[in-house]
Structure 1
Amino acid sequence: MTAETMQASAQSSTGGCTLPYPERFKAAVHYISNPPAGSKPVSDDTRLLLYALNQQATIGPCKETKPWGWNVVETAKWQTWSQLGNMSAVEAMRLYVRELEENEPDWYAKLGDYNPSVAEEPVEVEESQTNQPTGIAAIGPRDEWVQAEVSGARKPPPRYEHAMAAVDGKLLLVGGNCGGRYLNDVWILDLSSLEWVPTMYSGGKQAPGPPPSSGPDTPPPPQPTLPPSAGHAVVPWASSLLAVGGLTKAKHKSDELVVHSLETRAMAWSLLEPSGTPPPQLGGHTATIIGSCLYVFGGEDNSRRLSDELFVLDLESMVWSKPETKGRKPSPRCAHVAAGFGGRYLLIFGGGSVAHCYQDLHVLDVEDMSWSVPAAAGQAPSPRAGHAAAMLGNMWYIAGGGNNTTGCRDMVALDVSELGVGTVKWSFVTKISDKRSPIVTEGLSLTAVPEEGAIVAFGGYNGKYHNAVHVFKPAGAEQGQERGLPAPPAKSPLKEAEHVAAERAPQKAQMPKREEEPEAKQPPGEERREEESRVAKLEAACKEAEDMAREAAAARESAAHELALMRRQLVSAQNALAETERGLEEARASLGEEQSKNFKLEVEVAELRQKLGQMEELEKELEHLRRQAQEAKEKKGSGLWGYIAG
């Protein structure tokens, strides 16, 4: 066979790819991540297997904690990766390429001008490059998502379950989850130039700002640093950025919720040590500042138990507390969104539990610590978890998330301008046409930039990890809006009832007069009291109906939770039984083999004993013959000597 024939044979067996490993594997990953025109669609099962093989090849055996049951996608990915066991990286690369070749034999030919050296860092292909980056102020048009053209020598790796906040015209990105690997890096996005700036915590130099007080020779990074985390929250406070909680690896786990503070001018982390009774370590919770207090709600602890508790950290006295609340609080959940408004109200929307995603809206009045469900007009959003939200003026914008079936492609807004005195209003904003868009993801972040009347989206996961930057500018938002304008004070129930009665009184006066009835008219005061009584009864009936509906929902949730647990236990028991039965069958087969061997040995022993008995008989005959020969020899000798002697 000639060299040309061997090369052609190799190309035909490898989809035309002659690259050595690991370059061939990287080319295959590039093909799957960025399918060229004319490529065949990849089934979900194949994509799941390719994901697991990629993780095995690049990270190693799966050592991640099993995701919570309601997250079907992450659970399937975890199970597929775990089943690979201790497979070597080389074998995982080979199987990855083979799986792609079985699906599309000519995949490498479709890559075109593929350059392995350019594709060495796949995180760079997510976003378009430009030599003339423009600031966020120049981005348009309004009322639709626009992918920003960002610059920078390096960019953050794709991720989700990260946290982002706006500080002094810059966005700070902290941590997240990238391919099952928790991160603790810190990146800065300069909004005036749309340029990524790595910090000392992401392999860069000291960020612009005053140097640490200990002098220029201070070794970076300072201690303590933020542990690799995902599902945490960050909030600006004074000149610092507070990182609250988050899921971590086993060696970094804590029994208490940990709060780190990043001094944004010197880029130095410190650990806060408040007193009081802190919440347990949480992930997927929300942390919201109202006044000088940090309100932490929901999330899941280290044992994946969901929480419905509210904890408050006074940032001035540095004391944790768990206040008593009135009214029916939201059910246990995580991956929800929260926002503060008017210096008085805490809003909670959506989230997920073991079996459900929610679409309910709750409000906490921090003045009297009472939970309520506000009257809302418009069509409420569909249930979702893992979504993101940002408050811009009086509008609370919500995008992304999923519902255990598909990603949510609609973007909605809640008008909270009348919160506390009237009705909040849901409205549809826009729908993302491309279901693969980074906006149609879970674990993304939305950050409001009031100075520009804009919302910035980053990251997320929808089968692919993203690191693109998108900007949305609502048509009704004006630059320089302040978040959370003070809302009018809420009226007392008595004054509200009087207000309703007063509004209805003129309407009654304008109605046509009815024919006089035999009974006498009631005095105005009595009529007003009856009206108030009817209003009070109606409100009480509505409240009772709402309570019953919540109790029914809670009962359904509890039943679903128990059913899910029982199903998991049943599956575990069935798997254990199947494993035991397989072990029993193997033991029976082994026992049969041993019995067969034993029987053969017994037969051989019997045959040997029989042969041994025959040998004993032969030895006796041989001994008898020897004696006869000896006797004959002796007789022959005595006869001759006697003849001579005689």
Structure 2
Amino acid sequence: MSGSCGCCLNGVLFIFGGCDDNGQTNELYSVDLTDGTFTWKKIIHVSGAPPSPRDKLSCWVYDGKIIYFGGYGHKVLSDLDSRSRNFIVDETSWAGEVFWGWNNEVHVFDPKDLSWSQPQTFGRAPAPRAAHASASIGSKGYICGGRVMETRTSDIHCLDLETYTWTELVPSSTAPVGRSWHSLSPVSDSRLFLFGGLSMECNPMSDGWVFDTGSRKWTEVEHPFKNKPRLWHTACPGRDSDVIVFGGSCDYILLVDTGHCNDALVFQMQPYPLSRICEDYIARTVQGCDSLRTQVPLLPAKLQSAVYTRMCFYRPSKKHQ
């Protein structure tokens, strides 16, 4: 599968949609990450109607539910409403009574009763899109950019996850260039970090930006990974407001498919506390100091566990051993 949408809720990983050799799907799977068996289960819903088959969508987790937005996929003619602005037909892709295109629909899955619903939304919804990025802060879900027909955008919209009301956050400063296949991560109660993506000119990018949801201001961020462009990668918040980027590609994958990446990029978004600085120093130093290594077991249990975790991160790779 490619272009699936994943999220974690109460220790369970949920994977929805995506595309395989037969096209897009609307199947939902889960795997419990806490029971030690890591057994996949196909989820059969009890009520409601699932979204139509799609990929390159996004989701938020809120109040015990998973809220899905957008994506690219197909619908049959009988499901299309000429008056609706929720689905834009891709005029280059259709077959008989099956039409492909972009959507801006909001669907909600409740794992407790295995139900799907499609709530009514208010306000001006974003244009239908796919390959956008999303993140949530509290009861607000944000989306940024993505592909809208033949255009890649950098607009940012907020969905109130309690009232399902959309608001476009018009920037008060210069915004990043339009892009798709990028990532968006929360780094504080009011800031979002954007990294990478594919530009309108189909160039893989490595720029990083912070968006302040209060002032609606974009600020470009200096970082050490300017030589590591990424698109279609994953990103998540780490300890101390770090952002961890993993995988993806450094090529325009529709033309060249040799640039898959498996390294992790760690972005420091604010000064580290003294405890983190000490843990990092010990973890780096202990690799070449046997006398210091023997003292790690003497540390208090909580600090010892943190140091061992950091030691795994700084452990030299085999090619350097």
By the TM > 0.5 criterion, same fold?
yes
Paired residue for 2:309, among 462, 471, 475?
475
- Asked if the contact 2:7–2:13 (Cα under 8 Å) also holds between the matched residues in 1, the reply is yes
Question: Which residue identity lines up with residue 87 of structure 2 in the other structure?
Answer: S
Report the counterpart of residue 11 of structure 2 in structure 1: 169
Query: Aligned runs of 1:289-368 on 2, under 5 Å?
Result: 289-301=136-148, 303-353=149-199, 354-368=201-215
Paired residue for 1:411, among 260, 264, 269?
264
Report the counterpart of residue 244 of structure 1 in structure 2: 69
Question: Which residue identity lines up with residue 306 of structure 1 in the other structure?
Answer: R
Report the counterpart of residue 254 of structure 1 in structure 2: 87
Consecutive aligned runs of 4 or more in structure 1 exceeding 6 Å deviation: none
Aligned-pair CA distance for 1:260: 0.4
What per-residue deviation string (whole Å, max 9, x for no partner) do you get for residues 39-93 of structure 1?
xxxxxxxxxxxxxxxxxxxxxxxxxxxxxxxxxxxxxxxxxxxxxxxxxxxxxxx
Match of 1:352, SS? strand
Aligned-pair CA distance for 1:250: 4.5
Paired residue for 1:390, among 231, 236, 246?
236
Question: Which residue identity lines up with residue 332 of structure 1 in the other structure?
Answer: G
Aligned-pair CA distance for 1:326: 1.5
Report the structure, 1 or 2, having the larger strand content. 2
Match of 1:386, SS? coil
- Asked if the contact 2:236–2:243 (Cα under 8 Å) also holds between the matched residues in 1, the reply is yes
d(CA) in 1 for partners of 2:60 and 2:162?
15
- Asked if the contact 1:336–1:386 (Cα under 8 Å) also holds between the matched residues in 2, the reply is yes
Report the counterpart of residue 131 of structure 1 in structure 2: none
Gaps (5+ residues) in structure 2? 80-85, 89-102, 273-304, 313-321
d(CA) in 2 for partners of 1:477 and 1:298?
37
Report the counterpart of residue 559 of structure 1 in structure 2: none
- Asked if the contact 2:184–2:193 (Cα under 8 Å) also holds between the matched residues in 1, the reply is yes
Aligned-pair CA distance for 1:477: 9.8
d(CA) in 1 for partners of 2:123 and 2:311?
41
d(CA) in 1 for partners of 2:18 and 2:232?
13
Cα distance change on mapping 1:313 and 1:194 into 2, 3 Å: same
Aligned-pair CA distance for 1:322: 1.2
Report the structure, 1 or 2, having the larger helix content. 1
- Asked if the contact 2:69–2:105 (Cα under 8 Å) also holds between the matched residues in 1, the reply is yes
What per-residue deviation string (whole Å, max 9, x for no partner) do you get for residues 608-627 of structure 1?
xxxxxxxxxxxxxxxxxxxx
- Asked if the contact 2:247–2:263 (Cα under 8 Å) also holds between the matched residues in 1, the reply is yes
d(CA) in 2 for partners of 1:379 and 1:350?
10
Query: Aligned runs of 1:202-213 on 2, under 5 Å?
Result: none
Report the counterpart of residue 195 of structure 1 in structure 2: 39
Aligned-pair CA distance for 1:392: 2.1
- Asked if the contact 1:350–1:357 (Cα under 8 Å) also holds between the matched residues in 2, the reply is yes
d(CA) in 1 for partners of 2:162 and 2:311?
33
Match of 1:475, SS? helix
d(CA) in 2 for partners of 1:308 and 1:314?
20
Match of 1:298, SS? strand
Aligned-pair CA distance for 1:395: 2.4
d(CA) in 1 for partners of 2:311 and 2:118?
37
- Asked if the contact 1:392–1:477 (Cα under 8 Å) also holds between the matched residues in 2, the reply is no
What per-residue deviation string (whole Å, max 9, x for no partner) do you get for residues 13-57 of structure 1?
xxxxxxxxxxxxxxxxxxxxxxxxxxxxxxxxxxxxxxxxxxxxx
Gaps (5+ residues) in structure 1? 1-158, 202-219, 420-452, 454-473, 479-646
- Asked if the contact 1:244–1:287 (Cα under 8 Å) also holds between the matched residues in 2, the reply is no
Aligned-pair CA distance for 1:324: 2.1
d(CA) in 1 for partners of 2:245 and 2:192?
16
Report the counterpart of residue 128 of structure 1 in structure 2: none
What per-residue deviation string (whole Å, max 9, x for no partner) do you get for residues 258-283 of structure 1?
11000111111100211110011111
Report the more deviating stretch, 278-287 or 248-257. 248-257
Paired residue for 2:27, among 185, 208, 211?
185
Report the counterpart of residue 276 of structure 2 in structure 1: none
d(CA) in 2 for partners of 1:310 and 1:184?
26
Report the counterpart of residue 92 of structure 1 in structure 2: none
Aligned-pair CA distance for 1:223: 2.2
d(CA) in 2 for partners of 1:321 and 1:332?
19
RMSD, aligned α-carbons = 2.4
Paired residue for 1:272, among 104, 114, 119?
119
Aligned-pair CA distance for 1:317: 2.8
Paired residue for 1:229, among 54, 69, 85?
54
Cα distance change on mapping 1:384 and 1:319 into 2, 3 Å: same
d(CA) in 2 for partners of 1:180 and 1:350?
29
What per-residue deviation string (whole Å, max 9, x for no partner) do you get for residues 402-431 of structure 1?
213422343211122339xxxxxxxxxxxx
Aligned-pair CA distance for 1:386: 1.2
- TM-score, normalised via structure 1 length: 0.36
d(CA) in 1 for partners of 2:15 and 2:227?
28
What per-residue deviation string (whole Å, max 9, x for no partner) do you get for residues 305-359 of structure 1?
2112111112233211112211211111100011012111111000002431110
Q: Quote the sequence identity (%).
A: 20
- Asked if the contact 1:312–1:322 (Cα under 8 Å) also holds between the matched residues in 2, the reply is yes
d(CA) in 1 for partners of 2:9 and 2:161?
18
Match of 1:328, SS? coil
d(CA) in 2 for partners of 1:285 and 1:234?
11
Equivalent pairs, count? 247
What per-residue deviation string (whole Å, max 9, x for no partner) do you get for residues 107-146 of structure 1?
xxxxxxxxxxxxxxxxxxxxxxxxxxxxxxxxxxxxxxxx
Question: Which residue identity lines up with residue 418 of structure 1 in the other structure?
Answer: P
Query: Aligned runs of 1:36-55 on 2, under 5 Å?
Result: none
Match of 1:189, SS? strand
What per-residue deviation string (whole Å, max 9, x for no partner) do you get for residues 421-480 of structure 1?
xxxxxxxxxxxxxxxxxxxxxxxxxxxxxxxx9xxxxxxxxxxxxxxxxxxxx93399xx
Aligned-pair CA distance for 1:239: 1.1
Aligned-pair CA distance for 1:381: 4.8
What per-residue deviation string (whole Å, max 9, x for no partner) do you get for residues 538-565 of structure 1?
xxxxxxxxxxxxxxxxxxxxxxxxxxxx
- Asked if the contact 1:339–1:347 (Cα under 8 Å) also holds between the matched residues in 2, the reply is yes
Aligned-pair CA distance for 1:380: 3.2
- TM-score, normalised via structure 2 length: 0.71
